[in-house]
Structure 1
Amino acid sequence: MVKAVVGEETQLNLAEDRLFQSEVPAQVGLVVGKLSSGLDRGFVFDLILTPPNDSGAPACSVPESGKDDKKKGSKGKSQVEPSSLLIDIDWVAEHARQVSRMLLGGMNVVGIYVWATESLFKASNVIIWQTVKEVAEAAPFYESKVDERLLIHISYSPRRWICRNCTVGSSITSSSLRPCDFKMGRVLSSLQTFKCMYNFEIRLPIFHDSPSNVGTFREVLCNRILQHAKELGGAKALINGNLVVEDEPCTTDGSHDVELLLPFIKDAPIEASSQKEVAGIVIFTGSICSFAYLSPKEPISQAIADIKGDIIMSLQSRLDIICDEAEDVTHSAIDDSEEASNEISTERPIPQHILQLLRKPCKLSFPRRVLIPWVASAFICDYLQPSDTFEVLKEHCKELMSMEAPTDTSSILEPETEATSLTTKSFWDAVLTRYSTSGSDYDSVRKMESDSAGKEINRESFKLTNFNFVAALVIVLLSILVGLVLPIFKA
């Protein structure tokens, strides 16, 4: 349970000044930070304003009528209760989902903040708690049982900060919003940085049509990523070349290089090769640059867990991006005309395709991760498609993170030199590709197959010639031996 929260004073003071200068009656946004269950402490790195929705309306507003007025004809306490805040819960949750993609390991959307008067805040407890719960579902922590989120109330009448710990795993009760100690200090400057370049190759078979194996491209690949997460969970780690064997705090400053050592998986290859109904293979390969930030007094094992979580979340984020774009293409095509709808039904985008029906070989490039300077020495990330430019980064930073992207593009890092791609091939083509170059296409694989067939014929001829020569030599030796032994028996 989080009992105390420390906020980055530089960023929070800037946020407070921005709120008082805006003169808006109410505002809602996201809290980015980290919750440490082992330390019972929370860390707040920054507050991010939720932008207006698609129609241009703010995510949080105060109703014009009935702010403090009495309702005529009503009885009891309702006569003196002010109106509650109007919050677009779905839009705030979607903002949290998008922002969580841009955060590296050790950073999460840990809650929301609300800028409102004391009376408005008290009258809006239910809708505020519902917003916190939806944000928690939209941006969950990776493999964490923590069901707590932070709710920061910034009041301008009177002017003060109040932090509450929200339990989102149950319905709202009197104990769902518990106050906790809140203070400001230097948080970001004390973070430890861990970096890992993780090369992966995920292979999964494509089975023939079967009711038990039917699934879309997205579902099958998502399940395989989750299986890879279990394999990655048992990996050992090297930090700066030293094996991590003890659960101790990190005492050295600067950046730390992490290398993951995956355990041997005995059952996975056997399961794939023993199936007689395999029609093809999906090959998901690439290189991921993973980062994690460790708070003071946290053990090194937490940094390793954050690295592993960042790798899996990055894979899932890239899959979600291409699937979201495929859905946009499908919807726009269906809206254009009925003929386009019929055409889509026969040639659907790959992420929406039933994997068993994907007979033609294909290659799909996944978005690459790009690192953007954020606050202090910390980075955030974004994903670029092969055709995207840095202008896309600037738009995302402004809309989602309420920040201006650096004008000097040299400060934007592109550490993933190897493209993350997915390829589907027939079973034998995939087997042959194991012995060919990674950049060979389908035709080159076919050519390699024919060449290997010719080599097999020559090899068989060579084996036959050797067999004849050996047989003749054996016969000669036997004849000589019989000629020497026979006179002895006669004597």
Structure 2
Amino acid sequence: MVRAIYSPEYCLQYLEQFASQEIFVTGLILGQITNSRENVIHLARTPEEKSTDNVSEESFTSDKQEPVKNLLGVSEAWVADHAKHVTRMLPGGVFVQGIFITSDEDIFEEPNYFSKVKSILNYMYRILNSNRFMFANCPDSNERLILHMSTNTKVLTCKSVEIGGPNKNTSIKPVEWKFLSKPQQWQRLDCYYEFDDVYPVIVKNSGISVKQQFQQILESAHKTIDSSVMFIDGELKDGSEQLEQIIKKKKSKNNTKTSQDLPKSMHVSLFVPFENALPETVEYLECDGSIHFSGVVSSSVFMYPKATVSEAIAAVKQDIIRSLASRFTMHCDALIDDNLLPEEKVCFNEPPRRVLVPVGSLYLCDYLFPGEAPAEALLSVRELLDLQITETDVICDIETPADTSEFDALDRDASSEELLATPQEASQFMYITGICFALFVLVISILVHYYDGIVDFIGKILTKS
């Protein structure tokens, strides 16, 4: 059976505008794979390469160079860097599924060009697979799409190729690409996941950086979120049930008329089982400080209505972790000092907050640092997604300013003004680092020491009653 891809009609118009002008273009295919259907949501042109010496997080702000005129001149690292930046903007359940090309060469028949395409895809796969929390890859498949439109014949061809494996003689499979004249319906799932956790900081002889500590926190957060149970609109659903079926049952229960419109959003709640919230083992360690995370991470995921509850669960959990990883990376890149703990100080820090940007009939996201205006999001959207939107299109209120009264009280009680660093404009998600030598160890010790006694005491009371 031939693999089928469904895409909005404007993607065809997007390709035709380059082909009609006989312009060589490469770009990314963004989409979602579910058991019921595979949808492409957007095609994003890769910006012209601006730096060949050092491709980094700041590459897309470097000085421009001469445009690449054919596929052989494309830098694999540049396309992979574009994929990294774009994946950060994708909600859970949406991935970079491959690349598209408009050119006058037949990339599937000429060995040098096809070898170059595989090289680009394999490089992109390795880069995205290096950070499973922020980037990740398409689930359960190593096949990637190659979409080509000839600037000579205007013929559109799509095929898939397996990447990431040792087999050099990779088979090419045909793919049927179907353009939809009507906008694709999406089911939106909104979740607000609250963080209020304290993590110890233990500085070893070799030291520890902010990035290293954040990686450990991501590991812990991923374990917690992955073990959580998801409720949709306050109810626990069967994992094999389709989102569309849930809506139909609700309409039938409420005796509503036969409207085909899906509700704008489903509310998702994540609950962590108590036994999974406890550490497996407790070590008595003297920590050098602590990081206190406080705030709410906003998650908005868009799923094909025939997707199952299990697929929606995976997408929501992935979205929260991807958002955390993206913020941590951006925050670390903005730091001047990579030292985790300042001496004798408590520091208030604010990772960037999330905003939504429209792409067709759904939303992708971007991140703004404190003090940045929606205009800042327009720059990355235009550069990375090749979209022309206005400031009014950017939804900035999904994460509101946080309540900092607790930390203001700490500031008032401090004997020295230097004890608390001056906070910037508050955002919904923040963390605080500080010195906490004995307190954290004391609390853990008390809990571990008395936990078994408390359980036995409660058991005896229940037995007598």
Q: Distance in 2 between matches of 1:186 and 1:3?
A: 22
What is the match of residue 56 of structure 1? 64
For the Cα contact (< 8 Å) 1:368–1:419, is it kept in 2? Answer: no
Instruction: Give the secondary-structure state (helix, strand or coil) at the position aligned to 1:126.
Output: helix
One-letter amino acid of the counterpart of residue 291, structure 1: S
One-letter amino acid of the counterpart of residue 101, structure 2: V
Instruction: Please give the per-residue CA displacement for 1:284-324, whole angstroms capped at 9, x wherever unaligned.
Output: 22211101121243211111110100000000000111122
Q: Distance in 2 between matches of 1:96 and 1:209?
A: 35
Which of residues 25, 28, 38 is equivalent to 1:27?
25
Q: Distance in 2 between matches of 1:399 and 1:323?
A: 22
For the Cα contact (< 8 Å) 2:189–2:266, is it kept in 1? Answer: yes
Instruction: Report 1:458-469 matches (<5 A).
Output: none
- 1:12 pairs with 2:21: no
The 1:276–1:183 alpha-carbon spacing in structure 2 relative to 1, beyond 3 Å, is closer
For structure 1, which segment, 107-116 or 2-11, has the greater mean C-alpha deviation from structure 2 after superposition?
Answer: 2-11
For the Cα contact (< 8 Å) 1:203–1:281, is it kept in 2? Answer: yes
- 1:375 pairs with 2:368: no
Shift of 1:155: 1.8
Instruction: Give the secondary-structure state (helix, strand or coil) at the position aligned to 1:198.
Output: strand
Instruction: Give the secondary-structure state (helix, strand or coil) at the position aligned to 2:195.
Output: strand
Instruction: Please give the per-residue CA displacement for 1:103-129, whole angstroms capped at 9, x wherever unaligned.
Output: 112222111111123435523111111
What is the match of residue 399 of structure 2? 416
What is the match of residue 279 of structure 2? 268
What is the match of residue 470 of structure 1? none
Which of residues 130, 141, 148 is equivalent to 1:153?
148
Which of residues 314, 325, 343 is equivalent to 2:334?
325
The structure that is helix-richer by fraction is 1
For the Cα contact (< 8 Å) 1:43–1:187, is it kept in 2? Answer: no
What is the match of residue 277 of structure 1? 286
Shift of 1:186: 5.7
The 1:408–1:207 alpha-carbon spacing in structure 2 relative to 1, beyond 3 Å, is closer
For the Cα contact (< 8 Å) 1:196–1:289, is it kept in 2? Answer: yes
Which of residues 321, 328, 336 is equivalent to 1:312?
321
The 1:93–1:320 alpha-carbon spacing in structure 2 relative to 1, beyond 3 Å, is same
The 1:184–1:202 alpha-carbon spacing in structure 2 relative to 1, beyond 3 Å, is same
What is the match of residue 453 of structure 2? none
For the Cα contact (< 8 Å) 1:196–1:257, is it kept in 2? Answer: yes
Q: Distance in 2 between matches of 1:144 and 1:120?
A: 27
Which of residues 167, 178, 181 is equivalent to 1:183?
178
Provide the TM-score with structure 2 as the length reference: 0.74
What is the match of residue 387 of structure 2? 403
Shift of 1:237: 1.1
The 1:117–1:285 alpha-carbon spacing in structure 2 relative to 1, beyond 3 Å, is same
Q: Distance in 2 between matches of 1:229 and 1:3?
A: 36
Shift of 1:419: 4.3
For the Cα contact (< 8 Å) 1:231–1:263, is it kept in 2? Answer: no
- 1:114 pairs with 2:101: yes
For the Cα contact (< 8 Å) 1:207–1:356, is it kept in 2? Answer: no
- 1:94 pairs with 2:73: no
Shift of 1:382: 0.7
One-letter amino acid of the counterpart of residue 56, structure 1: K
Q: What is the RMSD of the two structures over their aligned residues, measured on CA atoms?
A: 2.8
What is the match of residue 390 of structure 1? 374
Instruction: Give the secondary-structure state (helix, strand or coil) at the position aligned to 2:106.
Output: helix
Q: Distance in 2 between matches of 1:60 and 1:296?
A: 40
Q: Distance in 2 between matches of 1:133 and 1:259?
A: 37
For the Cα contact (< 8 Å) 2:4–2:177, is it kept in 1? Answer: yes
Shift of 1:438: 4.9
Q: Distance in 2 between matches of 1:246 and 1:9?
A: 28
One-letter amino acid of the counterpart of residue 282, structure 1: I
One-letter amino acid of the counterpart of residue 244, structure 1: K
Q: Distance in 1 between matches of 2:387 and 2:239?
A: 39
Higher RCO by CA contacts (8 Å cutoff, separation 6 or greater): 2
Instruction: Give the secondary-structure state (helix, strand or coil) at the position aligned to 1:61.
Output: coil
What is the match of residue 258 of structure 1? 268
Q: Distance in 2 between matches of 1:416 and 1:356?
A: 27
Q: Distance in 1 between matches of 2:65 and 2:8?
A: 30
For the Cα contact (< 8 Å) 1:372–1:382, is it kept in 2? Answer: yes
One-letter amino acid of the counterpart of residue 145, structure 2: L
Shift of 1:156: 2.9
The 1:8–1:381 alpha-carbon spacing in structure 2 relative to 1, beyond 3 Å, is same
Shift of 1:51: 0.8
What is the match of residue 91 of structure 2? 104
Q: Distance in 2 between matches of 1:44 and 1:59?
A: 27
One-letter amino acid of the counterpart of residue 215, structure 1: I
Instruction: Report 1:440-451 matches (<5 A).
Output: 440-442=409-411, 444=413
Q: Distance in 2 between matches of 1:170 and 1:408?
A: 45
Q: Identity rate of aligned residues, in percent?
A: 25
Q: Distance in 2 between matches of 1:117 and 1:87?
A: 15
Q: Distance in 2 between matches of 1:186 and 1:177?
A: 28
For the Cα contact (< 8 Å) 2:354–2:396, is it kept in 1? Answer: no
For structure 1, which segment, 306-315 or 214-223, has the greater mean C-alpha deviation from structure 2 after superposition?
Answer: 214-223
One-letter amino acid of the counterpart of residue 11, structure 1: Y
For the Cα contact (< 8 Å) 2:16–2:154, is it kept in 1? Answer: no
The 1:398–1:30 alpha-carbon spacing in structure 2 relative to 1, beyond 3 Å, is same
Which of residues 295, 298, 308 is equivalent to 1:289?
298
Instruction: Give the secondary-structure state (helix, strand or coil) at the position aligned to 1:242.
Output: coil
Shift of 1:210: 4.4
Shift of 1:407: 4.3
Instruction: Give the secondary-structure state (helix, strand or coil) at the position aligned to 2:101.
Output: strand
One-letter amino acid of the counterpart of residue 218, structure 1: K
Q: Distance in 1 between matches of 2:356 and 2:77?
A: 28
The 1:292–1:133 alpha-carbon spacing in structure 2 relative to 1, beyond 3 Å, is same
Shift of 1:358: 5.7
Instruction: Give the secondary-structure state (helix, strand or coil) at the position aligned to 1:104.
Output: coil
- 1:248 pairs with 2:235: no
Shift of 1:176: 4.2
What is the match of residue 213 of structure 2? 220
For the Cα contact (< 8 Å) 1:285–1:420, is it kept in 2? Answer: no
For structure 1, which segment, 138-147 or 367-376, has the greater mean C-alpha deviation from structure 2 after superposition?
Answer: 138-147
For the Cα contact (< 8 Å) 1:8–1:186, is it kept in 2? Answer: no
Shift of 1:206: 1.7
Q: Distance in 1 between matches of 2:203 and 2:84?
A: 35
What is the match of residue 116 of structure 2? 127
What is the match of residue 137 of structure 1? 126
Gaps of 5+ in 2: 51-62, 129-134, 248-261, 417-465
Shift of 1:60: 4.2
